[in-house]
């Protein structure tokens, strides 16, 4: 039986079922680099304040380096009987270097240790996600630039509504993911305080220097309250919330890709390398990547609810419930990282079918609103112009015809305000380019927005941590 580091108070060993039920090392072993990084900073600080000798601290640091090397190489065996990554590393350290290893835990607890490790881990992965998001946003802007002059039907209620630049449509997603980037960047600022030295909950009587360890670990400062330091998981919940919004935006984009790719629309063709086939139907080319991203969104939402529910009734300070925080956090960050990366490749290889777009523009009376605007410019009150245009649409539907094949005589049958200029006015490209209001879809606007988007990407290209 493995002796527990806390076994002094107990008269009998832990039941094997309880041992298996309470272990977390099967999940938190992923924190080993952060745990070792925090322990090195702690050891150096203990030496600086005289709790350890310089030789003891150096022995500890070298022992931790050797453990990290073995874990990196895959030769280290984690023991579930030692519960978690922290005790596995500490026990192994003592085996390797002797008495000095037993002094490392002075002035800290697993409570502040795990909070520090998880903050370091979330900070590291969120920073990686920012890099992935920036690459993805650039891919969106590149594709928008490619398709600024392509006109497609814009939709409301999944019904054709008005013509828009396809570049404008794509830039709407750039705006969403830019907010996501800024939200994560903002969350990183709140996350970036160090709980290390809060100990179990009340701080420590030892003369430690929490500012030193915070600085060495790249934190802006130590947390101000030891009880909050060990019990706060807002940073983890906020991280999962932020990536839940990323997943929501990815899911919306994927839904549109699936619709555009469907044979009823055929507006885009997806790269073979990002699609799959059918085991029975040889003709199929399925948008499985987009569908899986859409499906995985619910999984990340579930993780967010899991964390919120876990924390909602916990009194201060640490409670063992909080051991359940790591799996939903890690799963969410893993999932969003994979989804952003794979959709970046899908968008990069997506080809626009311009012929299909041109055919689609002839359906759905897309420029009906432009007829209203035309009449309004000729002095017809807007509501009267709207009613007249509705009558035109109803008439064409009844005849099985479109607006595009109307003659001037047919237009004049509804209003003598119509002139020869109506035909140019209701051409889709003209309809798009007249929408020059700030944020509108005119191709002039879109090209300016693309230029601005590239400039914004330069601004978000820095790394804080």
Residues marked active site are found at 157, 278
Lookup: tokens for 71: 């874990």
Closest by Cα among 234, 241, 242 to 115: 234
Pair of tokens at residue 115: 């909070």
Produce one character per residue of 9-45: b if its CB has 16 or more CB atoms within 10 Å, e if not.
eeeeebeeeebeeebbbebbbbbbebbbbbbbbbbbb
Pair 176, 254: CB distance under 8 Å: no
Q: How far is CA 318 from CA 31, 35, 114, 279, 306, in A?
A: 19, 18, 11, 51, 18
Query: In this structure, are residues 196 and 42 in contact, taking their beta carbons and an 8 Å threshold?
Result: yes
217-to-100, 239, 260 alpha-carbon distances in Å: 22, 19, 47
Closest CA to 403 of 361, 341, 458: 361
92-96 long-range contacts, CB within 8 A, separation 24+: 92/67, 93/60, 93/63, 93/64, 93/67, 96/63, 96/66, 96/67
| Distance (Å, whole) CA 446 – CA 434 | 12
Paired tokens of 271: 């790269």
Neighbours of 97 (CB within 10 A): 19
d(CA 194, CA 117): 10
Give dist(CA 13, CA 10) in Å, integer: 7
The answer to whether residues 143 and 347 touch, using CB atoms and an 8 Å cutoff, is yes
- Where does residue 427 rank: exposed (0-12), middle (13-18), buried (19+ CB within 10 A)? middle
């Amino acid at each position: 039986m493995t002796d527990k580091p806390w076994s002094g108070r107990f008269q009998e060993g832990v039941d094997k079922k309880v041992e298996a039920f309470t272990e977390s090392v099967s999940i938190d072993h992923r924190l080993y680099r952060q745990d070792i990084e925090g322990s090195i900073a702690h050891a150096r600080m203990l030496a600086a304040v005289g709790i350890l000798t310089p030789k003891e601290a150096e022995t500890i640091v070298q022992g931790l380096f050797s453990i990290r090397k073995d874990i990196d190489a895959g030769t280290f065996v984690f023991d579930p009987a030692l519960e978690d990554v922290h005790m596995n590393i500490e026990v192994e350290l003592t085996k390797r270097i002797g008495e000095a290893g037993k002094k490392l835990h002075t002035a800290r607890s697993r409570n502040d240790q795990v909070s520090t490790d998880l903050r370091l881990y979330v900070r590291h992965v969120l920073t990686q996600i920012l890099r992935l998001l920036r690459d993805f946003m650039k891919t969106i802007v590149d594709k928008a630039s490619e398709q600024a002059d392509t006109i497609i039907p814009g939709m409301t209620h999944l019904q054709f509504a008005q013509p828009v630049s396809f570049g404008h449509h794509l830039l709407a997603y750039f705006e969403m993911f830019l907010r996501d980037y800024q939200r994560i960047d903002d969350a990183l600022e709140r996350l970036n305080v160090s709980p290390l030295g809060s100990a179990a909950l009340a701080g420590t009587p030892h003369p430690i220097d929490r500012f030193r360890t915070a600085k060495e670990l790249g934190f802006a400062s130590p947390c101000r309250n030891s009880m909050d330091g060990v019990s706060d998981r807002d940073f983890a919940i906020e991280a999962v919330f932020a990536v839940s919004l990323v997943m929501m935006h990815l899911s919306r984009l994927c839904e549109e890709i699936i619709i555009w790719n469907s044979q009823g629309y055929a507006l885009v063709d997806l790269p073979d390398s990002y699609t799959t086939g059918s085991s029975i139907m040889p003709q199929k080319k399925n948008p499985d990547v987009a569908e899986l991203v859409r499906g995985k969104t619910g999984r990340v939402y579930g993780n967010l609810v899991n964390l919120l529910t876990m924390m909602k009734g916990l009194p201060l300070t640490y409670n063992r419930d909080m051991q359940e925080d790591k799996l939903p956090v890690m799963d969410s960050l893993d999932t969003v990282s994979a989804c952003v990366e794979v959709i970046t490749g899908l968008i990069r290889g997506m080809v626009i079918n311009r012929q299909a777009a041109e055919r689609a523009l002839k359906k759905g009376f897309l420029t009906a609103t432009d007829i209203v605007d035309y009449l309004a410019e000729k002095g017809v009150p807007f509501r009267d112009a709207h009613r007249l245009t509705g009558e035109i649409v109803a008439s064409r539907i009844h005849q099985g015809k479109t607006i595009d094949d109307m003659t001037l005589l047919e237009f004049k049958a509804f209003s003598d305000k119509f002139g020869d200029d109506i035909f140019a006015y209701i051409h889709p490209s003209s309809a798009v380019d007249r929408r020059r209001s700030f944020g509108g879809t005119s191709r002039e606007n879109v090209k300016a927005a693309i230029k601005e988007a590239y400039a914004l990407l330069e601004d978000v290209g820095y790394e804080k941590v």
